[in-house]
Amino acid sequence: MDYRLYYSAGACSMAVHIVLEEIGVPFAVREVSVARGENRRADYLAINPKGFVPALEISGEPKILTELPAILVYLARRYPEAGLLPHSSAIDEARVLEWLVWLVGWVHGVGYGEIWRPERFSAQDTSPHEALGANGRRVVQEAYAKIEHTLADGRTWAAASGYSIVDPFLLVLYRWGNRIGLPMRTHYAAWTALTGRILERSAVQRVLEREGVAIE
C-alpha cells in the first residue's frame, strides 16, 4: 500500500479519505475513533503524538504526515492528474487554499472546537464551557451564512476552477451542521445543492459506506 490513513468516522479526516478515493491510489485505513477516545491511547500517540486525526502514513517516508490542510495539499500536488488543486494559475490555487485555511482554522478549529471541545480553550476551569459553546455556535452560524452567500452565485463547486480538495471538507461541515441542529436543507439551499452534487461522486459513496456515515 502506498498510504495508510488514520481516520475517525465522520470526522474531518473523511475529507482525506474521499481525496484518496478520488486519486485512485492504493491505500489502507485504520479507524481511530475519537468518540471512544482511541486517539488518546498510547498506541496511537506513538504514531501521532498530537493525538488528532487525520494522519497519513506514506510509503518510504519515515515520518507520518499530520494536519488536514497539509495532507490534502500534499495529495493534490502529488497527483495533479486528479485535478483537485488548480495548477493553471497562482491565483486559482490561492483561492482553493483561501477556502481551506478559513474552513479548517476558523470554522472547524474555533467554531466546532468551542462547541465540542471547550476544554481545549479552558482546561482547568470548566465554568466558561457553556459560554464557549454558545460562542462557537455563533461563529459557525455566521460562517455558514458566508458559505451559503458565496455558493449562491451560481458556481458548480466551491472553487470557480472546479471540484477541488475544498468540496469534500464542505461535505463534512454540512453534515456537522445537521448534527448541531442547523436547518441545512431549508436555510442553505446552495450548499444543499452542492452537497447533492458531491454525493453523486462514486468516490464519495465508497467512503460513506466504508465509514458507515450518512448525510441527512
Task: Show the cell assigned to 123.
Answer: 482546561
Question: In this model, does residue 8 exceed pLDDT 90?
Answer: yes
State the pLDDT at residue 90.
Answer: 94
Given 64, 82, 100, which residue is the final one in a domain? 82
Q: Read off the amino acid at residue 22.
A: E
Tell me, yes or no, whether 66 and 113 share the same domain: no
Chain-centroid distance, C-alpha 78? 19
pLDDT tens column, 92-120: 999 999 999 999 999 999 999 999 887 87
The proportion of the chain whose per-residue pLDDT surpasses 70, expressed as a percent, equals 100
Confidence of residue 28 (pLDDT cuts 50, 70, 90): very high
Buried b (16+ CB within 10 A) or exposed e, 98-107: ebbeebbeeb
Task: Show the cell assigned to 71.
Answer: 495532507
- Residue 122 domain boundaries: 90-201
> What integer is the mean pLDDT of 183-198?
98
What letter does residue 54 receive in the DSSP assignment? -
Residue 206 belongs to a domain: no
State the pLDDT at residue 216.
Answer: 78
State the pLDDT at residue 177.
Answer: 98
Distance CA 60, CA 79 (A): 17
Distance CA 40, CA 46 (A): 10
Task: Show the cell assigned to 104.
Answer: 479548517
Tell me, yes or no, whether 56 and 101 share the same domain: no
Residue 169 belongs to a domain: yes
Q: What is the pTM of this model?
A: 0.95
Given 17, 50, 82, which residue is the final one in a domain? 82
The CA–CA distances, whole Å, from 193 to 62, 67, 85, 196 equal: 41, 28, 22, 5
Distance CA 175, CA 96 (A): 21
pLDDT tens column, 113-137: 999 887 877 778 788 888 988 999 9
Q: How many domains is the chain built from?
A: 2
The CA–CA distances, whole Å, from 146 to 109, 143, 152, 194, 198 equal: 17, 5, 10, 15, 20
Residue 161 belongs to a domain: yes
Given 82, 100, 126, which residue is the final one in a domain? 82
